[in-house]
Structure 1
Amino acid sequence: MPLVRILEEIRDLEHGSAVTNLTIGPAQENAGPLHYQATMIGPNGSPFEDGIYVLDILFRENHPFSPPVIKCLTRIFHPNIGEDGNIYIGILHHRWNPCLTIEKTLLSIQSLLSSPDADTPSPGNSIAACVFLQNRTEYETIVRECTQKYAM
């Protein structure tokens, strides 16, 4: 049953990909039916603009009752994304809801790029959080440099 739902969610995401700037496909040839890779374009008007971010997605056997495990494979400077690529957003952890789809989840991550949650303590990138809170101009400069270097 989870595979049917996953395939429906992927089909729905593909239909709206021109609007959302999100794409998804199998992670590798032999990855298995629950392992995918998505690409996300950085939001317009943000220092992540035009960057292409690759995300690794592993659906769990009991999907949609547990959140997928999503990791950013593209190096990124962000308060809520660790250097290891782990993404710290509530919907991937304690705020997961079975009504959420992969498209809504990826859109939330895309939105997080524009609106970091640096006030909430998370094990993400504490250096990025400090710079974001203390000097927004410097933060945006670093993000643009990282986007140019790693996401284009």
Structure 2
Amino acid sequence: MATNENLPPNVIKQLAKELKHLDESPPEGIKVGVNDDDFSTIYADIEGPAGTPYENGVFNMKLVLSHDFPHSPPKGYFLTKIFHPNISKTGEICVNTLKRDWNPSLGLRHVLIVVRCLLIEPFPESALNEQAGKMLLENYEEYARHARLYTGIHAQKPKPKFKSGAISESTTALNVGQTNADHKNQAAAPAATALPLAKGENFQEHQTSATPLTEIGGSGSNVPAMPASAAQKKEAGLAKAPADKKKMDARKKSLKRL
């Protein structure tokens, strides 16, 4: 098992600084696993970029550093099976950044970003997987179908992401909805129930003092008129009695004249 003792102290110091930065501020779609006891193997999870056949998949990979790193490039391997022209069936990654274009000043962040970009734009001309390279050049739809199939079977599913403040926003929305519902219920309550009963007043007397529905609806309203209560009938009878008495008196006077 390799340990940090296989790397020069100055390289270990630089790697420790870079790995800490990667852990605190990872590149988009990349999460790095840090092992403080062994910097010679760097593990990372790479999310399949949107709009590619690798979307909705998370791929495990590793970078293996040699004892003379950074003078020689790391070797990259996909641990998750993937259908890609530049990744062999054993997982080895073929990209110029890890070969002839390597520069000791390039850091791990740059290498990881290049590997993820390889999922966006493959290079079939330097294919390690000849089947995938040929299919990409001749029939992209068939290539994409194979790549999606591998992604669905072998890749991990990405964890759901929550926007900042989403929980508090949802709680606020629920409270607002409840408040609006309470206001609607109060507005829909009948007028008679909204008025409190006075001390010693029964419900029937309270109803007669409420505004009749015929007045609320107005003329031509579809609301049916409420039947007259006993108290209203009594008041109508008292108003009619004096008029009847006057008619009776007039008739008596006419009879006396005859």
TM over 0.5: yes
Q: Which of the numbers 133, 138, 142 marks the counterpart of 2:146?
A: 142
Considering fraction of residues, name the structure with more strand: 1
Counterpart of 1:79 in structure 2 is: 85
Per-residue displacement from partner, 1:68-121 (whole Å, max 9, x unpaired)?
121100000000000010000011111101121111101101001110001x23
Counterpart of 1:58 in structure 2 is: 64
Equivalence map 1:1-152=2 (5 Å) = 1-17=10-26, 19-26=27-34, 32-118=38-124, 120-122=125-127, 124-152=128-156
Contact 1:2 1:61 in 2 (8 A): no
Partner SS for 2:44? strand
Partner SS for 2:126? coil
Matched letter for residue 75 of structure 2:
V
Matched letter for residue 75 of structure 1:
K
Counterpart of 2:187 in structure 1 is: none
Unaligned segments of structure 1, at least 5 residues = none
| Alpha-carbon separation, structure 2, partners of 1:136 and 1:16 | 35
TM-score normalised to structure 1 length: 0.89
- Count of aligned pairs between the two proteins: 147
- RMSD of aligned residue pairs (Cα, Å): 1.7
Per-residue displacement from partner, 1:112-147 (whole Å, max 9, x unpaired)?
1110001x234x100000100000111111111110
Matched letter for residue 118 of structure 2:
L
Contact 1:67 1:96 in 2 (8 A): yes
Matched letter for residue 152 of structure 2:
Q
Matched letter for residue 149 of structure 2:
E
Q: Which has the larger radius of gyration?
A: 2
| Alpha-carbon separation, structure 1, partners of 2:129 and 2:78 | 13
Matched letter for residue 79 of structure 1:
P
Contact 2:94 2:126 in 1 (8 A): no
| Alpha-carbon separation, structure 2, partners of 1:54 and 1:117 | 21
Per-residue displacement from partner, 1:33-73 (whole Å, max 9, x unpaired)?
31221111111111111211111221222222111121100
Contact 1:36 1:56 in 2 (8 A): yes
Higher relative contact order (CA 8 A, sep 6+): 1
Structure 1 runs of 4+ off > 4 angstroms? none
Cα deviation, residue 26, structure 1: 4.0
